[in-house]
Amino acid sequence: MPADEPYPNYFVQAKNLTEAKKVDPILKTVNAQVLQQVLKTVDKAFDHIKSKGFGFPRFKKKMRSFVFPALSKNFLGDEYLNFPQLGKIRIRKSREYPSGFEPKQARIIQKASGFYVLVSFQSTELVPDMTVGKTCLGIDAGIESFVATSRGDLIKAPRFLLKVQSKLKLLQRRLKHQVKGSKNWLKLQDKIARLHEKVSNTRRDWHFKLAHYLCDLADNIFVEDINFVSWSRGIVRKQSLDSGIGSFINEILPFVAWKRGKYYLKVDKNGTSQECPNCGAITGKKALSERVHRCDSCGHIEPRDTASAKVIENRGKNAVGLTVLENARGGDLTGIDWVKLGRSS
């Protein structure tokens, strides 16, 4: 397609798909709605170029997943799922089907350890908006610690990828000396992919445990509204990518908060380390190496990340209409509690 030619939208491509089915019989074996969903995904990617400033979509030789947007009434079974055009496929359920919900769509995902099915359910019941509770918790995403809370917790994230980096380097070194496409090459590729999947699962498991721990502490959860994409390109890119701070703050924590009935809110991130949580005075910019907050106005001293978390809590309280009590926890240095969370094997 020439560069100056306008991109064909979804409707044009859907019409071309009908004509392509007459030429290529393989396309007829695939569910029509699955193919249409792929065209919608491509069309959405091109729309994001202008609307969100994304780059030109990259060509993907292989797809790791595809969606069935509509399911039959007899889709669910105890030992199988009845997919359109594919028929009955045996499964191993990880959990029971929720009662009172209808399956709306299913996504088949290919991972290193096998194929998985993600089923989305829908209920006719209206979910009420979360109401503001009594207790509050401010959370600051840090560099030294994964997150710091306004209650003094400094939580460090395990080095998920660094723990297996030596093993990963060994496998990649062995892969380099194999003939591409050979059986040994494919075996090593599978081992590397499984290792990456294990790291991802371990990280995600720890994220959910941490999210539940934080939701146990308060009714209202306040976090900074941070663009973590810029973090992944900056000086802390390796630590932020290994810890997965972006997915934790933007995806897992709000989901767990919603599931637990907690109020979740993002507040302005600007100047959280330059404001005193005790008196509200502006203390000025601090170097990254300066890890202690000191206020010349009121003499308040405490760890920098904890002070930022308290500022976030104060901003959250102001946003939801709660009163910020001056010096609510006293003027002494807040105690530091390093929290260690267990991980499943």
Q: Are 136 and 325 in contact (CB under 8 A)?
A: no
Q: Are 278 and 300 in contact (CB under 8 A)?
A: yes
- Of 39, 62, 75, the residue nearest 109 (C-alpha): 62
Tens digit of pLDDT at every position of the chain (345 positions): 666 677 788 999 999 999 999 999 899 999 999 999 999 988 888 888 878 777 777 787 778 899 999 998 899 988 999 999 899 999 998 889 988 889 999 999 999 999 999 999 998 887 778 888 889 999 998 777 899 999 988 998 888 888 899 999 999 999 999 999 999 999 999 999 999 999 999 999 999 999 999 999 999 999 998 887 777 676 667 777 878 888 999 999 999 999 999 999 999 888 888 889 888 888 888 887 788 888 888 888 888 888 899 999 999 998 888 765 444 434 333 334 445 454 443
Nearest-angstrom CA–CA distance, 150 and 142: 13
Side-chain half-sphere exposure of 263, counting CA atoms within 13 A? 20
- Of 136, 147, 132, the residue nearest 308 (C-alpha): 147
- Of 94, 72, 96, the residue nearest 83 (C-alpha): 72
pTM for this entry: 0.82
Q: Are 316 and 267 in contact (CB under 8 A)?
A: yes
